[in-house]
Amino acid sequence: MLPGWLWKSSEKNSDAGRRSQDEGHLHLARENLRELLEDERLPGSVRDSLKDDFTQVEAMLDKLEHGHLHIAVFGRVSVGKSALLNALLGEVRFAVSALHGETRHSEMASWQEVEAGGVYLIDTPGINEVSGEERERMAEDVAGRADLVL
């Protein structure tokens, strides 16, 4: 049986090695994506269409690398999404109003910092708003990229 101090030291070394390996994988993924976008053998139209996807993948890799967790609220207009986030934050960071459609674009606020990264709350425009198709698409896009949706 190994002494407790030796066991803990081995676990720490194992975690450090795993983190180093994970960082290597993230770096390799980024470099491969960049090379693909710069590859002259691909038609320009294909590379152009991949740029938006690359931006989204890059954002996901950044979240992984920094240990960020994104929590988005998603739902109908004027049901209290912004008010809920303000209550969680303990301060008014997101605009609230009795009028429909106060939130016109997504906004993010840092909620909690933790050793491994941080938790971020994201407010989105409401869905089912009259003439709000663009805002609804925006909210769906944000919700699709979030780690957790309320």
Residue 100: which CATH number? 3.40.50.300
Q: State the number of CA atoms in the 13 A half-sphere of 111 facing the CB.
A: 19
9 and 58 in a common domain: yes
Indicate if 48 and 76 belong to the same structural domain: no
Segment 33-39 long-range contacts (CB within 8 Å, at least 24 positions apart):
33/57, 33/58
Distance CA(94)–CA(111), nearest Å, equals: 13
The yes-or-no verdict on residue 11 having pLDDT over 60 is no
What pLDDT, on a 0 to 100 scale, did the predictor assign at position 10?
Answer: 46
Q: What is the pLDDT of residues 51-65, one digit of tens each?
A: 877 887 887 777 777
Identify whether residues 101 and 121 lie together within a single domain.
Answer: yes
Range of the domain at 81: 68-149
Q: What's the pTM value of the predicted model, to 2 decimals?
A: 0.61
Total domains in the chain come to 2
* Residues 22 and 40 reside in one and the same domain: yes
Q: What percent of the chain is modeled with pLDDT above 70? A: 82
Mean pLDDT for 90-108 is: 87
Enumerate long-range contacts of 5-10, CB under 8 Å, 24 or more apart. Answer: none
Residues 50 and 93 in one domain: no
Same domain, 122 and 57: no
* Beta-strand pair 107-114/117-123: antiparallel
75 and 129 share a domain? Answer: yes
Q: What is the pLDDT of residue 84?
A: 94
pLDDT of residue 9: 44
Highest mean pLDDT among 88-92, 114-118, 143-147: 88-92
- Tell whether 137 and 73 lie within a shared domain: yes
